A = this chain, B = another copy of it.
Amino acid sequence: MSVFRGKTLKSKIVYQGSFLKIVQDLVEGREGKKHRREYILHPGASVVVAILPDGRIVMERQYRHALQQEFLELPAGKLDPGEEPLTAAQRELREETGYEAKEWTRLGVTHPCIGYSNEFIEVFLAKNLEQKGARLDEGEELEVFTLSQAELDEEIRAGRLTDAKTLSALMLYRLFKA
């Protein structure tokens, strides 16, 4: 690994909004050259591949304002302050879909936006599911349903499943199974 890393000289929060926080770093590169680097500070998140006994995968459909469209997604959510990724995965699965799982396996991690966010998303497999009833956050609206692996592949091929955390988690799951 020989790629040059640079040295951070200064770091400051330049924007703190209702949801987003931006940090700007001054970085010293080769020959003392200085560059600015700006990125979102993110607490991290978890995403869940939850599998029913018949192999069907628990999915959500949600409207996302930033893109003004609906997305097919795996259950996921941000970590609360100090929360472990597995705990967040279990909490989000229960809150959003109503499922509790007896069997949890970590499949890996994905980084959705390496150019301008420090977000990481831990990916978990959940099996041995039991339906206990969803508890959505105030203002949260989503549909929960299940798709078989073949149906998922068809949604992806047809361009109806484009969310990168979902595609990445399904890729990890595919290699885990293989």
Contact = CB atoms under 8 A, between A and B. Distances in A.
Interface residues of A, number: 71
A168 interface: yes
A9 interface: no
Contacts of A176: 157
Interface in A135-178: 139, 141-143, 153, 156-157, 159, 162-165, 167-168, 170-172, 174-176, 178
A27 interface: yes
Interface in A1-36: 1-6, 8, 14-15, 17-20, 22, 24-25, 27, 29, 33, 35-36
10 contacts: A22-B22, A33-B139, A66-B113, A108-B162, A111-B163, A113-B113, A116-B117, A156-B171, A167-B167, A174-B174
A163 B15 contact: no
Given A1-B70, A6-B65, A17-B22, 13 more contacts: A3-B70, A5-B63, A15-B22, A40-B66, A66-B113, A66-B116, A66-B118, A108-B156, A109-B159, A109-B162, A156-B172, A167-B167, A171-B174
A71 B115 CA distance: 11
A37 interface: yes
